Amino acid sequence: MDCLFCKIIAGEVPSHKVYEDEHAYAFLDIYPTSRGHTVVLPKEHITSFLEMSEEKTAELFASVNRIAKKVIAVTEAPGVNIGINNGLVAGQTVPHVHVHIIPRYENDGGGS
């Protein structure tokens, strides 16, 4: 399968791995919005979040919760954005579901 994120999971494309478990793989974003910007993937290839079952979603977000706690413990960021760009028009550039964990810092432009 010609999917960049599947290649990252397989180790065919290098990444700075943050976390891995049975269901999920997480690495640092190559163009970080902020320090510690992490991307979490389900290991199974799926293009759209809207095609995921509730069970798979629960597995993915259990990992996201665990990883976000680690990222915040390391960065000591006072806030965090957690989200998905789903679909081309929403800014999804890689067609493999992924959740962004973006630590936010004072006056970094992320808040109001």
CB of 103 to ligand 5GP, least distance (A): 14
Residue from 43, 45, 66, 100 touching Zn ion (CB under 5 A): that is 45
Residue 20 touches which of ligand 5GP, Zn ion, none (Cβ within 5-8 Å per kind) = none
Choice from 23, 52, 85, 105 touching ligand 5GP (CB under 6 A): 85
Distance CA 89, CA 78 (A): 30
Q: Which residue is nearest to Zn ion (CB)?
A: 3
DSSP state of 5: H
Binding status of residue 49 toward Zn ion by CB under 5 A? no
Q: Please indicate whether residue 98 is annotated as part of the active site.
A: yes
Q: Is 30 in the site for ligand 5GP (CB under 6 A)?
A: yes
Q: Of these partners, ligand 5GP, Zn ion, none, which one is at the site of residue 10 (CB under 5 to 8 Å by kind)? A: none
29 sits near ligand 5GP (criterion: CB under 6 A) = yes
Give the one entry of ligand 5GP, Zn ion, none that residue 64 binds, where binding means its C-beta sits below a cut-off of 5 to 8 angstroms depending on kind.
none
What is the distance between the alpha carbons of residues 19 and 12, in angstroms, rounded to a whole number?
Answer: 17
Pull the structure tokens for residue 51.
């095609």
